Amino acid sequence: MTTTKVVPKAVALVGTAEAFTSTAPDIDGDGTADESTCFTVELIDTDTNEVLGDATDCLSNITGDGDGLKIIGKTTFNFPEGQIVTRSETTVQPLLFGQNGFTHSTTAAPPLNGGSNILSATGDFAGATGSGTARLSGLVDMSQLGEEGILRCDYLFLIDL
């Protein structure tokens, strides 16, 4: 019997969330999990606009670069059919035009040379670890991130399993 995998092609992470602290698998090679600032928002099917579940975006190893930031982002997508966890090198840059309530744009390209940025996958997505990619493009409002610890995001992720 052959089963068909449900493979998302485009999903949106949309919402406003309060930060919480968590850890990400070792990034800097010291053998210790790295502290992350995380946000959980709704996970939306871009074809139907239906809420599929939620996603948690954890940001660590944040460094300034010019006017922008370099971030290691670990995103956990919680679908009804299973979970996909990705890690990407992410950039955040101030918006120069048309903010519409957002202060920055953010992007993360898939790894070069056919590499994978999928750390783990369960359920219908099991087996995608090490073979798929996720790419991010989006907007964030970081104006309340300081003392309030609140981030508003509108991300589009393209996931290729």
Q: Tell me, yes or no, if the pTM score tops 0.85.
A: yes
Q: What is the per-residue pLDDT for 50? A: 95
Q: What is the per-residue pLDDT for 8? A: 53
Give the start-to-end residue ranges of the domains of the chain: 10-26+33-160
Q: What is the per-residue pLDDT for 32? A: 87
Q: Distance (Å, rounded) from C-alpha 156 to C-alpha 142? A: 17
For residue 16, which of 134, 144, 146 has the smallest C-alpha distance?
Answer: 144
- Tokens matching residue 70: 């370099």
Q: What is the per-residue pLDDT for 109? A: 93
> Would you write out the chain's pLDDT as a tens digit for each of its 161 residues?
444 444 558 999 999 999 999 988 777 778 888 899 999 999 999 999 999 999 999 999 999 999 999 999 999 999 999 999 999 999 999 998 866 889 999 999 988 887 899 999 999 998 888 788 999 999 999 999 888 999 999 999 999 88
Task: Looking at the structure, give the CATH architecture of the domain made up of residues 10-26+33-160.
Answer: Beta Barrel (2.40)
Q: What is the per-residue pLDDT for 99? A: 66
- Tokens matching residue 103: 């202060």
